[in-house]
Amino acid sequence: MVTFMVYGEPASKANSRRLVKRGRRVIPIKSAKALDYCDAFIKQCPVLDTLMDGELVAHIHIWYASQRPDLDPSLILDLMQGRIYQNDRQVREMHLYHWLDRHTPRAQITIERRSS
């Protein structure tokens, strides 16, 4: 089992895209808020010597700065790939909690192996 805290407010993966024109194509890219959160997460997330294997359970408590954001752990799950586990598809069970802390938004994350 691993437990850690990441300070900063997570961006919703679904709502964190902006459209940018590249030549004749319009492509979606991460918003500035999502990119900032990715940088903060990478700096604060531990990297396990041996990545967790098998089916996993995620317990994620997210303290947002306001009631506005949707409860969305998908960016957090993506960012743990290659640091905590190989692939976020290993997470077979999630327990999500939405809290409010205007001054210190953060996420407390616990990942453990799923018992049979």
Please give the average per-residue pLDDT across 58-74, as a whole number.
Answer: 94
Q: Band of the pLDDT at 46, cuts 50, 70, 90?
A: very high
Q: Band of the pLDDT at 14, cuts 50, 70, 90?
A: low
More confident residue, 31 or 69: 69
Three-state SS for the chain is CEEEEEECCCCCCCCCEEEEEECCEEEEEECHHHHHHHHHHHHHCCCCCCCECCCEEEEEEEEECCCCCCCCCHHHHHHCECCCECCHHHEEEEEEEEEECCCCCEEEEEEEECCC
Low-confidence winner among 17-31, 41-55, 62-76, 78-92 (lowest mean pLDDT):
17-31
Query: Is 17's pLDDT higher than 70?
Result: no
- CATH fold, domain 2-113, is 60s Ribosomal Protein L30; Chain: A; (3.30.1330)
